[in-house]
Amino acid sequence: MAIAPVVNAIRVLERMVPPGQLLFDHHAHDLRGTRTGTGSLTVHSLGVRVEDFITWANQEATAHGLEVIPPDPHGRIGTERFRRSLAWHIARRPGGLVALAIQYGHLRTSVAAGYAARSRDGIHDLLDVETARATIDTVADLNAALENGLGISGPAARRAIKAAATAPQYTGTVITARQARQILANPQLAVYENPHTLLMCVYKRAKALCCHRGPKDTPSLDQCVPGCANIARTDQHAVGLRHYATALDQQAGRVPGPLGERLHDNATRLRDLADAHDRTRTTLRDGIA
Ligand code: SF4
């Protein structure tokens, strides 16, 4: 399972190479054809391609009056740093840790083992570090927002506040791979933002309704079940719910019949959730912690 840009990139590569060949087969990609034998592009060639891509992207950006990729003060990007960027995006792409439920699990099992076996700082460690940093950022952002008067509701609100309170001890520190593993194993820090369902999952295995096939270490965010005791919602989620409800109503206005009615019903359900948040929300000033 992969996200759409990855699938699209693979489909493009499949059209560039003859059937049955490697996606980065050097015969198909090395147009000078100076190398003999089989195999994929070398690490050096891939590093050059990354630089070529930046040059091309900047030419296009300049032609269209867009922002260019600035010169890198640390020199060429190369495959090492490209991997680090990859890990950063996996941990933080829109949906944040939602992506991890899909892609990270896949990468860890399919790719990471191979990389990790070959180098001490394999992608396995990079993913752990970036995931831990994303987790700390999530709880640190929540902590700052709560201190600024953000309201929170839901059965897991108290646990979310407790997790947020631990943030200051981690912020600003450099996280090593070992510390990252400790952070990821800390059940108190299991806070996942789920923008698709406009809620925050404060994961506790015993309470999770999404784990039909036995307890797991991470929630199935793509199969979130309304009414789960791990749900918390903030004022920001309530705003998001109302925005989404308005968009559904607008869509419903253009769709006649049962489909339009269903869209209206969904909009009403989302507004009800936002209203329930407003009625039950609490803040740090209410002394919940
Ligand atoms: S069902 Fe519960 S545990 Fe699963 S993702 Fe939703 S809130 Fe988290």
pLDDT, tens only, 253-264: 898 889 999 999
The CA-based dihedral angle spanning residues 187, 151, 166, 160, taken in that order and rounded to the nearest 10 degrees? -10
Helix (H) or strand (E) holding 191: strand 191-194
Q: What is the pLDDT of residue 215?
A: 58
**Cα separations in angstroms, 118 against 87, 111, 123:** 17, 11, 10
The average pLDDT across 12-26 equals: 91
Pocket test for ligand 1, best of 228, 233, 273 (most atoms within 8 A of CB): 228
User: What was the pLDDT predicted at 123?
Assistant: 64
264 residue type, one letter: H
Q: How far is the CA of 58 from the centre of ligand 1 (A)?
A: 42
Task: State which ligand 1 atom lies nearest to the alpha carbon of 199.
Answer: 7
> For a substitution probing ligand 1, which of 209, 217, 222, 273 has the most ligand atoms within 8 Å of its CB?
209
Rounded Cα gap, residues 155 and 32, in angstroms: 63
Q: What is the predicted pLDDT for the residue at 12? A: 94
Nearest-CA residue for atom 4 of ligand 1: 210
Ligand 1 site-directed mutation target among 191, 207, 224, most atoms within 8 Å of CB: 224
CA–centroid distance, 178 to ligand 1, in Å, is 27
**What's the pLDDT score for residue 165?**
92
pLDDT category at 115 given cuts 50, 70, 90 is very low
Give the per-residue pLDDT at 212.
Answer: 64
Task: Look at 49 and 103; give whichever has higher pLDDT.
Answer: 49
Confidence at residue 42, expressed as pLDDT on a 0 to 100 scale: 87
* Least confident residue range of 44-53, 214-223, 265-274: 214-223
Averaged pLDDT score across all residues of the chain: 82
DSSP state letter for 40: B
Residues framing ligand 1 (Cβ under 6 A): 201, 203, 208-210, 219-221, 224-225, 228, 230-231
**For ligand 1, atom 6: residue with the closest CA:** 224
Gap from CA of 220 to ligand 1 centroid (Å): 7
Domain ranges of the chain: 131-286
> Average of pLDDT values for 37-49?
87
Mean pLDDT on 115-132: 62
Place of tokens 């607008």: 250
Average pLDDT (214-235) is 82
| 27 or 128, greater pLDDT | 27
